[in-house]
Amino acid sequence: MDSPHVDAQRSGAGDDPVRHSGLTTGSGGTKTTRDTVSELLQRFAAGDPGKISDLYAEQVAWKLDWPPGDYSQTVPWICDRSTRAGVADHFRLIAEHHVADRSSATVSAILVDGDDAVVLGELHNTARRTGRSYISAFALHLTVEEGLITRHHIYEDSLAVMQAFSA
Protein backbone atom coordinates (compact mmCIF):
# COMPACT_ATOMS: atom_id res chain seq x y z
CA MET A 1 0.00 0.00 0.00
CA ASP A 2 1.34 3.41 -0.92
CA SER A 3 1.66 5.95 1.86
CA PRO A 4 0.17 9.42 1.24
CA HIS A 5 2.45 12.08 -0.18
CA VAL A 6 3.57 14.50 2.50
CA ASP A 7 5.07 17.82 1.45
CA ALA A 8 7.69 18.71 4.06
CA GLN A 9 9.57 21.95 4.54
CA ARG A 10 12.37 22.27 7.04
CA SER A 11 13.74 25.56 8.12
CA GLY A 12 17.43 26.08 8.51
CA ALA A 13 19.69 29.06 8.81
CA GLY A 14 18.29 31.73 6.55
CA ASP A 15 15.19 29.66 5.73
CA ASP A 16 12.79 30.61 8.53
CA PRO A 17 9.18 30.25 7.28
CA VAL A 18 8.04 32.92 9.74
CA ARG A 19 10.21 35.46 7.92
CA HIS A 20 9.17 34.57 4.37
CA SER A 21 7.50 37.47 2.64
CA GLY A 22 4.81 37.20 0.02
CA LEU A 23 2.68 34.18 -0.75
CA THR A 24 2.28 32.10 -3.81
CA THR A 25 -0.97 30.41 -4.63
CA GLY A 26 -1.87 27.03 -5.97
CA SER A 27 -3.29 26.45 -9.40
CA GLY A 28 -6.35 28.55 -10.10
CA GLY A 29 -5.22 31.32 -7.74
CA THR A 30 -6.65 29.67 -4.60
CA LYS A 31 -4.57 29.60 -1.44
CA THR A 32 -3.05 26.23 -0.66
CA THR A 33 -2.77 24.76 2.82
CA ARG A 34 0.92 25.71 2.84
CA ASP A 35 0.05 29.30 1.79
CA THR A 36 -2.38 29.65 4.68
CA VAL A 37 0.04 28.14 7.21
CA SER A 38 2.86 30.40 6.00
CA GLU A 39 0.58 33.42 6.32
CA LEU A 40 -0.46 32.30 9.81
CA LEU A 41 3.18 32.08 10.90
CA GLN A 42 3.82 35.57 9.54
CA ARG A 43 0.83 36.88 11.47
CA PHE A 44 1.97 35.10 14.65
CA ALA A 45 5.31 36.92 14.28
CA ALA A 46 3.53 40.27 13.77
CA GLY A 47 1.46 39.65 16.91
CA ASP A 48 -1.93 41.12 15.91
CA PRO A 49 -4.69 38.87 17.38
CA GLY A 50 -7.35 40.27 15.02
CA LYS A 51 -5.29 39.58 11.91
CA ILE A 52 -4.38 36.12 13.22
CA SER A 53 -8.03 35.26 13.82
CA ASP A 54 -9.02 36.47 10.33
CA LEU A 55 -7.35 33.31 8.98
CA TYR A 56 -9.75 31.11 10.97
CA ALA A 57 -13.23 29.96 9.97
CA GLU A 58 -16.20 31.25 11.99
CA GLN A 59 -16.39 27.81 13.65
CA VAL A 60 -13.13 26.12 14.66
CA ALA A 61 -12.32 22.68 16.07
CA TRP A 62 -10.02 23.90 18.87
CA LYS A 63 -7.92 21.74 21.19
CA LEU A 64 -5.17 22.65 23.61
CA ASP A 65 -3.54 19.45 24.87
CA TRP A 66 -3.53 20.18 28.59
CA PRO A 67 -4.67 17.93 31.44
CA PRO A 68 -8.33 18.48 32.42
CA GLY A 69 -8.79 21.36 34.85
CA ASP A 70 -9.55 25.02 35.32
CA TYR A 71 -6.48 27.11 34.53
CA SER A 72 -8.27 30.46 34.31
CA GLN A 73 -6.47 31.99 37.29
CA THR A 74 -2.96 31.04 36.19
CA VAL A 75 -2.98 30.76 32.37
CA PRO A 76 -6.32 32.22 31.26
CA TRP A 77 -5.83 31.54 27.53
CA ILE A 78 -6.05 27.79 28.24
CA CYS A 79 -9.76 27.12 27.74
CA ASP A 80 -12.21 25.71 25.23
CA ARG A 81 -12.89 27.79 22.14
CA SER A 82 -14.89 27.24 18.99
CA THR A 83 -15.21 30.60 17.20
CA ARG A 84 -13.08 33.11 15.34
CA ALA A 85 -13.73 35.63 18.15
CA GLY A 86 -12.46 33.06 20.65
CA VAL A 87 -9.28 32.66 18.59
CA ALA A 88 -8.66 36.42 18.76
CA ASP A 89 -9.23 36.35 22.53
CA HIS A 90 -6.78 33.45 22.88
CA PHE A 91 -3.96 35.33 21.17
CA ARG A 92 -4.81 38.61 22.94
CA LEU A 93 -4.51 36.84 26.32
CA ILE A 94 -1.22 35.18 25.37
CA ALA A 95 0.20 38.61 24.44
CA GLU A 96 -1.04 40.19 27.68
CA HIS A 97 0.58 37.51 29.85
CA HIS A 98 4.00 37.29 28.18
CA VAL A 99 6.91 39.74 27.87
CA ALA A 100 6.84 40.67 24.18
CA ASP A 101 10.55 41.32 23.69
CA ARG A 102 11.40 38.04 25.43
CA SER A 103 9.10 35.82 23.35
CA SER A 104 9.91 33.97 20.16
CA ALA A 105 9.24 30.78 18.26
CA THR A 106 11.45 28.62 16.11
CA VAL A 107 9.82 26.50 13.42
CA SER A 108 11.79 23.37 12.56
CA ALA A 109 9.37 21.76 10.07
CA ILE A 110 6.09 22.24 8.28
CA LEU A 111 4.47 19.03 7.03
CA VAL A 112 1.55 19.27 4.61
CA ASP A 113 -0.80 16.51 3.46
CA GLY A 114 -3.83 17.82 1.57
CA ASP A 115 -5.91 20.00 3.89
CA ASP A 116 -3.82 19.09 6.94
CA ALA A 117 -0.57 20.63 8.14
CA VAL A 118 1.63 20.04 11.15
CA VAL A 119 4.02 22.74 12.33
CA LEU A 120 6.84 21.57 14.60
CA GLY A 121 8.95 23.91 16.66
CA GLU A 122 9.88 25.44 19.95
CA LEU A 123 8.47 28.38 21.92
CA HIS A 124 10.71 30.62 24.04
CA ASN A 125 8.67 32.86 26.34
CA THR A 126 8.76 34.78 29.60
CA ALA A 127 5.78 34.97 31.94
CA ARG A 128 4.91 38.61 32.62
CA ARG A 129 3.61 37.98 36.17
CA THR A 130 6.58 35.96 37.47
CA GLY A 131 9.41 36.97 35.13
CA ARG A 132 10.23 33.29 34.63
CA SER A 133 11.25 32.07 31.20
CA TYR A 134 10.29 28.76 29.67
CA ILE A 135 10.96 26.72 26.56
CA SER A 136 8.26 24.47 25.15
CA ALA A 137 8.49 22.16 22.16
CA PHE A 138 5.24 22.17 20.20
CA ALA A 139 3.35 20.43 17.44
CA LEU A 140 0.48 22.37 15.88
CA HIS A 141 -2.02 20.40 13.77
CA LEU A 142 -4.04 22.61 11.45
CA THR A 143 -6.73 21.84 8.90
CA VAL A 144 -7.35 24.37 6.14
CA GLU A 145 -10.54 24.43 4.09
CA GLU A 146 -11.15 27.04 1.39
CA GLY A 147 -8.23 29.10 2.68
CA LEU A 148 -9.46 29.22 6.31
CA ILE A 149 -8.27 27.25 9.33
CA THR A 150 -10.99 24.92 10.62
CA ARG A 151 -8.90 22.89 13.08
CA HIS A 152 -6.30 24.13 15.57
CA HIS A 153 -4.89 21.41 17.83
CA ILE A 154 -1.70 22.24 19.72
CA TYR A 155 0.47 19.91 21.72
CA GLU A 156 3.00 21.64 23.96
CA ASP A 157 4.90 21.25 27.22
CA SER A 158 2.11 22.32 29.57
CA LEU A 159 4.26 21.61 32.65
CA ALA A 160 6.93 24.11 31.53
CA VAL A 161 4.26 26.76 30.91
CA MET A 162 2.53 26.11 34.24
CA GLN A 163 5.81 26.22 36.19
CA ALA A 164 6.69 29.59 34.65
CA PHE A 165 3.32 31.09 35.61
CA SER A 166 2.86 29.51 39.06
CA ALA A 167 3.53 31.80 41.98
Assessment of whether the complete model's pTM goes beyond 0.85: no
Digitized pLDDT (tens) for each residue of the chain, 167 residues in all: 333 333 444 444 334 333 332 333 445 567 899 999 999 999 999 999 999 999 999 999 999 999 998 988 999 999 999 999 999 999 999 999 999 999 999 999 999 999 999 999 999 999 999 999 999 999 999 999 999 999 999 999 999 999 999 97
Sequence-ordered alpha helix ranges (H) in 4-113: 33-46, 49-53, 84-96
pLDDT tens digits, residue range 38-80? 999 999 999 999 999 999 999 999 999 999 989 889 999 999 9
Say what the pLDDT of residue 29 is.
Answer: 60
Say what the pLDDT of residue 13 is.
Answer: 36
Query: How far, in Å, CA of 144 to CA of 79, rounded?
Result: 22
Query: How far, in Å, CA of 152 to CA of 167, rounded?
Result: 29
